[in-house]
Amino acid sequence: MNKISVADIYLQNSGEEVMKLIPYFETPSDFEDKGLEKELKYFPKFIVLMPKEQKIVKLLFENKPEKDWKEDQVYKTYIIFKELPNDIKSISEDNTLIVHEVGISITGKK
């Protein structure tokens, strides 16, 4: 795995409403000791997408020298983008709140 690498994640709001997203990392339970959360960072920390707008999230991987990378071991973490409700408009007539979450798998192998 490279010392430092940067990837772009493109997010697009194809809807008619403003979307507010908060990203975070989550490691699957079967990869608990093989996660990448400590080596990953993302920018920006909070995303507002206007209708029909596209933004780029920068994903930074920084190899930590103290990490004991095992040969042929697979490491995995998800970056999750969770939608935050805008206001009362997010609640439908039957008081149901619909919030989207999208996860992207980040996998590495030495």
pTM for the predicted model, two decimal places: 0.82
**Local confidence band at 60 (pLDDT 50, 70, 90 cut-offs):** very high
Closest CA to 44 of 71, 23, 62, 17: 23
Q: What is the pLDDT of residue 21?
A: 94
Residue 46 has pLDDT above 90, yes or no: yes
- CATH fold of 4-109, please? Immunoglobulin-like (2.60.40)
Tokens of 100: 């989207």
Asked if 72 and 40 count as a contact pair (C-beta separation under 8 A), the reply is no
Q: What single-letter DSSP state applies at residue 31?
A: G
Average pLDDT over residues 33-62: 94
Instruction: Map out the domains of the chain as residue ranges.
Output: 4-109
- Of 64 and 13, which is predicted with more confidence? 13
**Separation CA 72–CA 34 (nearest Å):** 12
Both tokens of 65, joined, read: 């020298």
